[in-house]
Structure 1
Amino acid sequence: MTGPGHVEPGGAPLVGQLPGGATLVKVSVGPMDNNAYLLSADGDSVLIDAANDDERLLALIGDAPVSTIVTTHRHGDHIQALADVAEATGARLVAGHPDLESIERDAGVSGVTGVWDGDTVPLGETSLEVVGLVGHTPGSITLVYAPAGGPVHLFTGDSLFPGGPGKTWRAADFTSLMDDIEAKLFDRFGDDTVVHPGHGDDTTLGVERPQLDAWRARGW
């Protein structure tokens, strides 16, 4: 059964219009069904996670100017196409401060700008807010697109999915991630907020909110 925002691995991209005049293109790339997102507004574009399949991503971008490529976290399945797409586009590279060195080393790139809570990524005449979420990795980030009139759109990488938080390997990391997603996402944004995760289908905070206590209880 598929949910909202579903894309097939290797399949056609999904194109949609967001409030505020932005266009969102979602595509699944690579053997781990990674989502890559191209968010465009005012003649500018931001690519979120150049995860794999550089040729497909560059074909998706076409002649559109890409000012920034954001990497949501340091895991290898999210950075396979980063070097090639960065070279082809000349885009500025952005990632969470704690994951920066790992991304530069493993992706073979340099000059990545580190960001964290309260920083912004320009997108045309607007910007995307950065939210740091510690747990899946030390430097995982979420991007917030908050157009006037809403709803808010969150690009959460592997920190929040339909049905639960991202994978953690220690109890302390799970607690940290749950604390962060509750305080920085669920406590702040409304139920109509759309979640665009790093793999799989979309969801909303309203759908997931009733499950928070259950996630805490199960520990994953």
Structure 2
Amino acid sequence: MAADERVFKYVRLPEGYEIVHLTWIDPQKQESLASYAIRMAERIDTSQPFVLIGLSFGGMLVTEIAKRYPPVKTILIASIPLSAQLPGYFRVAAALRLHKVVPIGMVKTAARLKRYITNEKSEDKKLIWEIINSSDPAFIRWSMEAILTWKNEEMPQQVLHIHGTRDEVLPARYTKPTHIIPKAGHLMVMSQPDDVNRILHNALAI
């Protein structure tokens, strides 16, 4: 939820595209996911054609941006376009308001420990640990609330949805991807970038 542009280090787009990263901004008090997304979108140059790409939480954000500023294509990676596709245990957590009481330190520790059983390269595991350690607890707390209270029933137009069969955060069985990568987990952009890049090139070749 607090990963930055460093996780896209292996992503390569076809010639002719300029990559512009939308960095996180500070959320306002009790701000919704949709409201936050539109504020992020203020930095997009909509005077020329553009493509939106979002990973995980970022995919939910670009889904909301696409409703206000239609892109040429919306690309979701290890994400979901509809709030109804959140796993049932997310809704249970929301009903019990677990996101309000679970210590963020525990969330970070769990994320760090998970790297021992994931298949990223050693250097990438170190990078992910750095991202986890430097992430803002207040932002993580807000994003948990934003995801669990997100309501969206509108599917983006021209959507490309890449998902892995071993995504442990947002399991593929709860959503309907256009492209499936076998044995890929949630951070497939780092663990299986060649597969991701091949799909992106096929979809975006000018």
Fold conserved between structures, TM > 0.5: no
Specify the TM-score bucket, using the shorter chain as the normaliser: 0.3 to 0.5
More strand by share: 1
TM-score for both structures, normalised by structure 2: 0.33
> Higher relative CO (CA 8 A, sep ≥ 6), structure 1 or 2?
2
